Amino acid sequence: MAAGSAIQIPSRLPLLLTHEGVLLPGSTMRTSVDSPRNMQLVRSRLLKGTSLRSTIIGVIPNTSDPTSDCDDLPSLHRIGTAALAVQVVGSNWPKPHYTLLVTGLCRFQILQLLKEKPYPVAEVEQLDRLEQFTNQHKSEEELGELSEQFYKYAVQLVEMLDMSVPAVAKLRRLLDNLPREALPDILTSIIRTSNQEKLQILDAVRLEERFKMTIPLLVRQIEGLKLLQKTRKPKQDDDKRVVAIRPTRRINHIPGTTEDEEEEEDHDDVVMLEKKIRTSSMSEQALKVCLKEIKRLKKMPQSMPEYALTRNYLELMVELPWNKSTKDRLEIRAARILLDNDHYAMEKLKKRVLEYLAVRQLKNNLKGPILCFVGPPGVGKTSVGRSIAKTLGREFHRIALGGVCDQSDIRGHRRTYVGSMPGRIINGLKTVGVNNPVFLLDEVDKLGKSLQGDPAAALLEVLDPEQNHSFTDHYLNVAFDLSQVLFIATANTTATIPPALLDRMEIIQVPGYTQEEKIEIAHRHLIPKQLEQHGLTPQQIQIPQVTTLDIITRYTREAGVRSLDRKLGAICRAVAVKVAEGQHKETKPDRAEVGEGEDCKEHVTEDAKTESISDTADLALPPEMPILIDFHALKDILGPPMYEMEVSERLSQPGVAIGLAWTPLGGEIMFVEASRMDGEGQLTLTGQLGDVMKESAHLAISWLRSNAKRYQLANASGSFDLLDNTDIHLHFPAGAVTKDGPSAGVTIVTCLASLFSGRLVCSDVAMTGEITLRGLVLPVGGIKDKVLAAHRAGLKRVIIPQRNEKDLEEIAVNVRQDLTFVLASCLDEVLNAAFDGGFAVKPRVERLNSKL
Ligand code: ADP
């Protein structure tokens, strides 16, 4: 043993008592230490010691140390292994212990135990060294033969193992380099041996004896391995020589078997792909790139990940509609009829679309602004886009841009990325299979922005007629001509569309619908569509107009018709169940007469014998057709009404006024509430207001304070300074929704005027308008949506700024007829119109007037 002979181990060694495992010289063992004596040894000898000598300990096998400190030391095994502690790792879990890594150096025998506590220390005699020097010459011949025999077995054993494993190769080298005497110990600790056998080897102090004892162990291991290899033979072949196996198989392979076919097939596929590439009508630049790629593909082994990538790329290139287009059939008269048939109302939008199409018919080119429909959800923006595609005889594809915040969503990922793919535009073209579809870019106002670039910037290129004939998707990496694609965009508001993008588009506002329009849309389009979808016929279900109106006013509050459509769907589902049950029951002979339902028949205009669905709740009675949906049935199906006309109730105290607000979802009525209390003149605003709205509130208060005397407005203590000892709280309900804008100015003034005068604001009046400190009323936006909201809410009068008069022309005649408009240019006029009998001004003002 080279190491053993070189090191003189100390004559006094601390002893580590191990129970499991036997450490032999030349091998390494990990052992857990938790008994008090062993722990002490680690702590005071290994962790505190600083010299190399202090890391040498004696490992005594097969002796479990008692768990308690005071227990007597058990009898120790006579022979042990001097070892070097290489590593100590401490842990507190599950109980305090150390894990020791020790490497065996040489055998020793205990001569005398010097002390037992805190850990045993013994005087020792180094054995291996004595053996080497005394016996080496004496028995060289005999040992030579034995060691030669041992060496051969050892080599045989190691070579049976997988030499590609680095540790095995290293072991093979060690067999040649190590002194032969060291081999029995090392191999015994490597091969499968029991603790008992290892102990015997440790005890075999004489080298000759050790060789003799280990040879049978080696032979046993070799036989075991042979047996194992016999049973595993075929599999081992497989994984040992994966690379070499293919050519050998080819030689003795019978043609016609599946693998051959597969490879042939793959080869055929590539040839086919090449053929497709050559015959496809792709641009010259694209063809060049594809041919280069297919050349690379042919040389690539299929197992390479790039093979699949390249193939996918080439397949996409072949599939793209480079030159394939549908023939436009554009006839303006037909287009008008189709648009009218598909959509009720929306005259302005239809007019502009027809103009656009007419220009296209005359000019036969697409260069022109991109149409962008802006309006609340559910007003038919997408659906008009679809109709345009239909009138042109083109394919339609919708690209949802809501939430897209990565420009590679539009322009694709470069092919170097794992999982790269083309952008949505190229994907859309692949889906429709023609190069002149109608692309609807839905929700351009909801494009996001992130670190991955600005998708709006990528869209600019797509939408610019000057650039888009050579749009380069990062994945394709060659230009694709998008100039034949007709782009239409939709948005809820223009406020969040990036200005550069807005500049490329022509905005067409699509306002919300009036109640009458909604009823018409429901009966002309939505109900027939829902009936068809649910397999019902008009003979089975009847929804009178009053019911539709009920759904519109009591179950939905929206500018568009999407919720209305959903509610109608729910009704159809409920009726479908009844109809299906009825068909089932009809076979039963004993049908009872339906006695109830008299009151609901009042609503029915038709003569047909009808029956309310609510009255057919008893399943024993099959319904009679058609099933009439009256208000009771509505309640049964949709639950109690969600919205009630609450306007008059809420205006029953002073300090409340109704304003009109514009949101991307359409117009809405908004209650403004005010209250006053004793305080120090503070103004509190609640309801998530933006800065502009807060300023409006301050403006309103200031104007009222400066005009309090004129209007005889006083606070609780009778002072004309309204904030004297008084706090004011203004609240804008629906507190979770952020509100901003200047148009609430007039409403706040009216609300405060009502609070301080103690008079009620008329319950049927709503208002909008910006105010100035001098009391002028300035124009605001969104008048049409706001007026529609007032109409929806059943209000009768609307106060709007004088300068918004022109906007009234856009409003449907029937709505205008239902409402009275007050055009105000100053706040006096607003207040006069908002209170019954006007809001009197102190005569002093009249005197002033007469002077003028
Ligand atoms: P948007 O794109 O504006 O959110 P959609 O186009 O998806 O709304 O319209 C929602 C539903 O309402 C569609 O089923 C559509 O057919 C219907 N719809 C909306 N407006 C009209 C209309 N004027 N005439 C007929 N159907 C309409």
pLDDT at 279 over 90: no
pLDDT at 244 over 50: no
SS3 content of the chain, % helix, strand, coil (to 5): 45, 15, 35
- Does residue 45 contact residue 14 with C-beta atoms inside 8 Å? yes
Out of 223-232, 379-388, 601-610, 668-677, which region has the weakest mean confidence (pLDDT)?
601-610
The C-alpha atoms of residue 530 and residue 535 are separated, in whole angstroms, by 9
- Does residue 238 contact residue 265 with C-beta atoms inside 8 Å? no
- Given 743, 754, 757, 784, the catalytic residue: 743
Ligand 1, closest atom to CA 384? 6
| d(CA 382, ligand 1 centre) in Å | 7
- Does residue 407 contact residue 453 with C-beta atoms inside 8 Å? yes
In the predicted model, what is the mean pLDDT of the chain? 81
User: Looking at ligand 1, which residue's alpha carbon is closest to its atom 10?
Assistant: 378
Q: Is the dihedral of CA 371, 377, 379, 380 positive or negative?
A: positive
- Residue 81 is predicted with a pLDDT of 93
pLDDT at 380 over 70: yes
Q: What is the DSSP string of 791-803?
A: HHTT--EEEEEGG
| d(CA 521, ligand 1 centre) in Å | 9
User: Looking at ligand 1, which residue's alpha carbon is closest to its atom 18?
Assistant: 380
Ligand 1, closest atom to CA 385? 6
- Given 198, 350, 739, 786, the catalytic residue: 786
φ, ψ (nearest 5 deg) of residue 780: -135, 175
Q: Give me the amino acid identity at 8.
A: Q
Pocket test for ligand 1, best of 379, 390, 523, 568 (most atoms within 8 A of CB): 379
The C-alpha atoms of residue 505 and residue 460 are separated, in whole angstroms, by 10
- Residue 821 is predicted with a pLDDT of 93
* pTM exceeds 0.95: no
What are the pLDDT digits (tens) for 182-209?
888 988 988 888 888 898 999 998 888 8
| Residue 379 marked as a ligand binder | yes
CA quadruple 177, 183, 185, 188: dihedral, nearest 10: 120
Q: Who lines ligand 1 at CB under 6 A?
A: 343-346, 377-383, 490, 521, 525, 560-562, 565
Helix, strand, or coil here: 291? Answer: helix
- Residue 588 is predicted with a pLDDT of 45
| d(CA 524, ligand 1 centre) in Å | 12
The set of residues, in sequence order, having a beta carbon less than 8 Å from that of 43 and lying 6+ positions away, is none
- Distance from chain centroid for Cα 761: 49
User: Looking at ligand 1, which residue's alpha carbon is closest to its atom 25?
Assistant: 343
| Residue 378 marked as a ligand binder | yes
Helix, strand, or coil here: 95? Answer: coil
Ligand 1, closest atom to CA 386? 6
Ligand 1, closest atom to CA 517? 23
Q: How confident is the model at residue 570 (pLDDT cuts 50, 70, 90)?
A: very high
pLDDT at 151 over 50: yes
| Residue 381 marked as a ligand binder | yes
- Does residue 320 contact residue 480 with C-beta atoms inside 8 Å? yes
| Residue 664 marked as a ligand binder | no
| d(CA 787, ligand 1 centre) in Å | 21
Q: What is the 3-state secondary structure (H, E, C) of 106-160?
A: EEEEEEEEEECCCCCEEEEEEHHHHHHHHHCCCCHHHHHHHHHHHHHHHHHHHHH
Residue 333 CB coordination number (10 Å):
8
The C-alpha atoms of residue 103 and residue 26 are separated, in whole angstroms, by 7
| d(CA 530, ligand 1 centre) in Å | 13
What are the pLDDT digits (tens) for 48-77?
877 878 888 999 987 776 666 666 777 888
| Residue 104 marked as a ligand binder | no
Burial class, 450, CB count within 10 angstroms (exposed 0-12 / middle 13-18 / buried 19+): exposed
Closest Cα partner for 715 from 677, 745, 689, 684?
Answer: 677
| d(CA 347, ligand 1 centre) in Å | 14
Pocket test for ligand 1, best of 344, 383, 384, 523 (most atoms within 8 A of CB): 383
pLDDT at 257 over 60: no
Q: How confident is the model at residue 483 (pLDDT cuts 50, 70, 90)?
A: confident
User: Looking at ligand 1, which residue's alpha carbon is closest to its atom 22?
Assistant: 343
The set of residues, in sequence order, having a beta carbon less than 8 Å from that of 110 and lying 6+ positions away, is 15, 58, 60, 76, 78, 79, 80, 122, 123, 124
| Residue 377 marked as a ligand binder | yes
| d(CA 403, ligand 1 centre) in Å | 22
- Does residue 695 contact residue 730 with C-beta atoms inside 8 Å? no
Q: What is the average pLDDT across 104-125?
A: 89
Ligand 1, closest atom to CA 373? 3
Please, which contacts does 302-309 make with residues 24 or more away whose CB atoms are closer than 8 Å?
Answer: 302/266, 309/415, 309/420
- Residue 583 is predicted with a pLDDT of 65
The C-alpha atoms of residue 811 and residue 791 are separated, in whole angstroms, by 11
| d(CA 565, ligand 1 centre) in Å | 9
- Distance from chain centroid for Cα 512: 32
Strand partners, 85: 102
Cα 799-800-804 angle, rounded to 5 deg: 160
Ligand 1, closest atom to CA 345? 23
Ligand 1, closest atom to CA 383? 6
User: Looking at ligand 1, which residue's alpha carbon is closest to its atom 21?
Assistant: 380
Q: How confident is the model at residue 569 (pLDDT cuts 50, 70, 90)?
A: very high
| d(CA 547, ligand 1 centre) in Å | 20
pLDDT at 699 over 60: yes
- Residue 843 is predicted with a pLDDT of 52
- Distance from chain centroid for Cα 634: 37
- Does residue 841 contact residue 711 with C-beta atoms inside 8 Å? yes
- Residue 139 is predicted with a pLDDT of 47
φ, ψ (nearest 5 deg) of residue 713: -95, 130
Per-residue exposure over 417-438, b if at least 16 CB sit within 10 Å of its own CB, e if not: eeebbbbbbbbbbeebebbbbb
- Does residue 57 contact residue 16 with C-beta atoms inside 8 Å? yes
User: Looking at ligand 1, which residue's alpha carbon is closest to its atom 24?
Assistant: 343
Of residues 167 and 806, more confidently modeled:
806
Task: State the DSSP code for 665.
Answer: T
pLDDT at 150 over 60: yes
What are the pLDDT digits (tens) for 802-841?
999 998 888 888 888 889 999 999 999 999 999 888 887 6
Place of tokens 């949802």: 400
| d(CA 573, ligand 1 centre) in Å | 20
Strand partners, 439: 397, 487
The C-alpha atoms of residue 115 and residue 124 are separated, in whole angstroms, by 13
Q: How confident is the model at residue 491 (pLDDT cuts 50, 70, 90)?
A: very high
| d(CA 600, ligand 1 centre) in Å | 31
Q: Give me the amino acid identity at 285.
A: Q
- Residue 4 is predicted with a pLDDT of 41
Mark whether 743 is an active-site residue.
yes
Query: Which domains are present in the chain?
Result: 12-129 (2.30.130.40), 165-228 (no CATH), 332-423+435-509 (3.40.50.300), 513-580+623-644 (1.10.8.60), 646-834 (3.30.230.10)
User: Looking at ligand 1, which residue's alpha carbon is closest to its atom 27?
Assistant: 380
Q: Provide the H-helix boundaries in 758-852.
A: 783-792, 813-818, 827-834, 843-851
Q: How confident is the model at residue 250 (pLDDT cuts 50, 70, 90)?
A: very low
φ, ψ (nearest 5 deg) of residue 105: -105, -60
- Residue 623 is predicted with a pLDDT of 56
What are the pLDDT digits (tens) for 13-34?
999 988 878 999 888 888 888 8
Q: Is the dihedral of CA 246, 250, 256, 257 positive or negative?
A: negative
User: Looking at ligand 1, which residue's alpha carbon is closest to its atom 16?
Assistant: 383
What are the pLDDT digits (tens) for 724-762?
888 999 998 765 566 778 888 999 999 999 998 888 898
| d(CA 560, ligand 1 centre) in Å | 7
pLDDT at 132 over 70: no
- Does residue 126 contact residue 106 with C-beta atoms inside 8 Å? yes
Q: What is the average pLDDT across 585-596?
A: 43
Closest Cα partner for 154 from 172, 181, 142, 177?
Answer: 172
What are the pLDDT digits (tens) for 295-340?
888 888 877 778 888 888 999 999 999 988 888 877 888 888 988 9
What are the pLDDT digits (tens) for 219-234?
998 888 888 877 765 5
| d(CA 658, ligand 1 centre) in Å | 30
Ligand 1, closest atom to CA 377? 4
